[in-house]
């Protein structure tokens, strides 16, 4: 296999990430924030447990630190050396490599737990196809059926992101970090290339996920912060799941009642 240079990967990667940010900016400018359409009901239902939230932010924070240290090394030679000089870059690179290697295995462990914990939420359902056919309701404003996790998140964030790209990035990362298991030079080189391409592809997916989970969709961020969502958010974006909760007898609690319960505790 002809070897692709790291510089070529860095150039394409920077281009793709730049384009991704531009596209999200244009989407935000045109579409604005997706609002909870009837407004908030001010009643909430439980969505993510404390363990799930801690796990999510553990993985997300490590992802950012690994992206900054790994990306700093990949893009650094082009961008940082001209700005700060070779000596300062060498000092930063030493620290970045150390941090990246130290946190890499901790990140792999988090990703594995996430894959196992959330597999059940991400099994394709019959109605998921409808979600794609209707473009996720993003343009029409009419929301297609969705379970606890919508079809877009199932495909991009879970299966393509965590399971496929995540496995490639984590496995190659471990091969590179522990080279004393008889790996050939070719294996090391191929792992290096796949690690970079996989990491850049994953960053692109997470860029979109971060946008939709914060600025892009009203009511999403608080789900991963306090674990509950407004009932109208649940009905708009996850109607099948909202229905399931009702059938299970999960009663929505008013935000005020919740506040009082917490104050009493």
Contact between 111 and 170 under an 8 Å Cβ cutoff? The reply is: yes
Interface segment toward ligand HEM; rule CB under 6 A; list 17-25, 37-45, 154-162, 181-189: 154-162
Nearest in space to 205 (alpha carbons), one of 9, 24, 11: 24
Which residue number has the CB closest to ligand HEM? 213
Q: Is 63 in the site for ligand HEM (CB under 6 A)?
A: yes
- How far apart are CB 64 and ligand HEM at their closest, in Å? 6
d(CA 213, CA 206): 10
Q: Is 198 in the site for ligand HEM (CB under 6 A)?
A: no
100: CB partners within 8 A, 6+ apart:
66, 69, 70, 73
Interface segment toward ligand HEM; rule CB under 6 A; list 7-15, 16-24, 184-192, 216-224: 216-224
Q: Is 66 in the site for ligand HEM (CB under 6 A)?
A: no
- How far apart are CB 244 and ligand HEM at their closest, in Å? 15
Site mask, ligand HEM, residues 132-151, x = CB under 6 A?
Answer: -----------------x--
253: CB partners within 8 A, 6+ apart:
43, 44, 45, 261
Which residues contact ligand HEM by CB under 6 A? 47, 56, 59-60, 63-64, 114, 118, 121-122, 149, 153-154, 157-158, 162, 206, 209-210, 213-214, 220-221, 223-224
């Amino acid at each position: 296999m002809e070897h692709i240079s790291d510089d070529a990967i860095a150039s394409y990667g920077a281009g793709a990430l730049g384009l991704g940010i531009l596209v999200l900016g244009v989407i935000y400018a045109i579409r604005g924030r997706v609002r909870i359409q009837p407004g908030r009901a001010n009643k909430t239902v439980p969505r993510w447990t404390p363990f799930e939230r801690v796990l999510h932010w553990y993985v997300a924070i490590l992802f950012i630190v690994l992206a900054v240290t790994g990306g700093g090394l990949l893009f650094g030679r082009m961008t940082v050396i001209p700005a700060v000089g070779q000596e300062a870059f060498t000092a930063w690179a030493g620290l970045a490599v150390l941090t990246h290697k130290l946190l890499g295995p901790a990140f792999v462990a988090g990703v594995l737990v996430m894959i196992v914990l959330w597999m059940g939420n991400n099994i394709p359902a019959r109605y998921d196809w409808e979600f794609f056919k209707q473009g996720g309701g993003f343009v029409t404003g009419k929301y297609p059926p969705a379970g606890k996790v919508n079809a877009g998140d199932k495909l991009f964030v879970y299966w393509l992101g965590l399971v496929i790209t995540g496995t490639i990035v984590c496995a190659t990362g471990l091969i590179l970090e522990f080279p004393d298991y008889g790996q050939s030079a070719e294996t090391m080189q191929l792992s290096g290339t796949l690690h970079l391409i996989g990491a850049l592809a994953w960053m692109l997916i997470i860029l979109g996920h971060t946008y939709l989970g914060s600025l892009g969709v009203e009511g999403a961020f608080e789900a991963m912060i306090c674990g509950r969502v407004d009932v109208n958010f649940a009905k708009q974006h996850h109607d099948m799941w909202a229905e399931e909760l009702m059938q299970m007898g999960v009663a929505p609690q008013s935000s005020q009642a919740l506040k009082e319960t917490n104050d009493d505790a």
